[in-house]
């Protein structure tokens, strides 16, 4: 029993120590001005060092959004083939995450997309961030 517990615990520790996180701030150009409005949040991508899985999270900087979404998309063969994806959204929330998606094709990459809408009548802000390409 002790050996099983030690193996599971070690596996959990390895899982947490082999991920990376990248983030992109949301932005929206104000209509007619060409100037960026203040960002409402960011979308992050968390991926395994070996590129076997990734997930996306969108979160606000303060408070909640009328609409917030996160999407993770995987591609392989240098983007010429689509792999699995996951999408999630919430209303009146401050964050949302996708499920993990798993891909093991050659030259795979993950892209995280986020959408933020502050109120029902406001514009939307978008954020996109991508992982490196894994061989």
Percent share of the chain, pLDDT over 70: 78
Q: Is the pLDDT of residue 89 over 60?
A: yes
> What is the Cα 86 distance to its own chain's centre?
10
Query: What's the domain count of the chain?
Result: 1
pLDDT at 22: 81
- Token pair listed for 35: 């100037």
Q: For residue range 37-70, what is the model confidence (pLDDT) as tens digits?
A: 568 999 999 999 999 999 999 999 999 999 999 9
Q: Where in the sequence is the domain holding 59, given as residue range(s)?
A: 19-130
Q: What is the mean pLDDT of the chain?
A: 82
Q: How many residues does the chain have?
A: 135
Return the CATH number at 89.
2.60.40
- Any domain includes 95: yes
Determine the Cα angle at 114 with ends 111 and 120, to 5°: 160
- Any domain includes 2: no
């Amino acid at each position: 029993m002790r050996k099983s517990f030690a193996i599971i615990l070690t596996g959990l520790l390895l899982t947490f120590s082999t991920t990376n996180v990248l983030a992109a701030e949301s932005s929206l150009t104000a209509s007619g001005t060409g100037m960026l409005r203040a960002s409402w949040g960011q979308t992050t991508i968390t991926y395994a060092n070996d590129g076997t899985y990734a997930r996306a999270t969108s979160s606000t900087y303060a408070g909640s959004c009328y609409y917030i979404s996160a999407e993770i998309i995987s591609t392989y063969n240098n983007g010429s083939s689509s792999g699995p994806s996951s999408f999630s959204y919430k209303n009146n929330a401050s964050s949302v995450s996708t499920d993990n998606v798993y891909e093991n094709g050659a030259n795979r990459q993950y892209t995280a997309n986020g959408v933020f809408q502050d109120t029902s009548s406001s514009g939307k802000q978008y954020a996109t961030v991508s992982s490196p390409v894994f061989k």
